[in-house]
Amino acid sequence: MTAPFWKTKTLDEMTQGEWESLCDGCGRCCLHKLRDEDTDELSFTNVSCRLLNTQDCHCTDYANRFAKVPDCVQLTPSVLREIDWLPPSCAYRLLEEGRDLPAWHPLVSGDPMTVISSGVSAAGRIINERDAGPLEHHVVDWPGLMPKGRLPRRKRPAGTKA
């Protein structure tokens, strides 16, 4: 059996399709962050980019995101090594740190919904920047923390034993 590409290739060796598939769609990287000018301390908010759908965390115009949101960051292996704001659950960050993908990641689970059902996704707990007001009113800790990310238990058919 062949090992999955993320276990056999470096980030630099991956094809564009492989690279793109690493994104679990959690939406945490699309949340606004604040950086203190004096201390360089990073704070996360629960305010999303205007293109992020707050219910499913999909970009509503992925193909044109750089034209519509000039400060949208295109992740590449070299950019990844220069930024410090990716959430600790991010597949790009995990692999760069020599760690494996978690069980809830769609490439591991085979189901793109496990990122939501496991509680890792920002879906349903964020507000769009157009509705938010001052970012300072929306500082939260959870986007910068490693989520528990346990897969929900599957229901057993009636009459079966555990």
The answer to whether residue 95 sits within a structural domain is yes
Domain of residue 81, residue span: 17-143
Counting Cα atoms < 13 Å in the Cβ hemisphere of 69 gives 20
Q: Does 32 fall in a domain?
A: yes
Each residue's pLDDT tens digit, 36-91: 999 999 999 999 999 999 999 999 999 999 999 999 999 999 999 999 999 999 99
The total of structural domains in the chain comes to: 1
Q: Residue 155's pLDDT is what?
A: 52
Tell whether 125 is covered by a domain: yes
Q: Is 102 inside a domain boundary? A: yes
> CB under 8 Å to 73, separation ≥6 — which residues?
79, 83
Which is more confidently placed, 56 or 161? 56
Report yes or no: 59 and 30 within 8 Å, Cβ to Cβ.
yes
- CA 43 to chain centroid: 16
> Does residue 160 fall inside a structural domain?
no
For residue 103, which amino acid is it? Answer: A
Tell me the whole-structure pTM to 2 decimals.
0.87
- In a domain? residue 97: yes
Tell me how far apart the alpha carbons of residues 3 and 45 are, in angstroms, rounded to a whole number. 37
pLDDT of 160 over the 60 cut: no
Quick: pLDDT tens for 107-142.
Answer: 999 999 999 999 999 999 999 999 999 999 999 999
Residue 72 resides in a domain: yes
The answer as to whether 155 is a domain residue is: no
Tell me, what's the pLDDT at 7?
96
Residue 121 contacts residue 147 (beta carbons within 8 Å): no
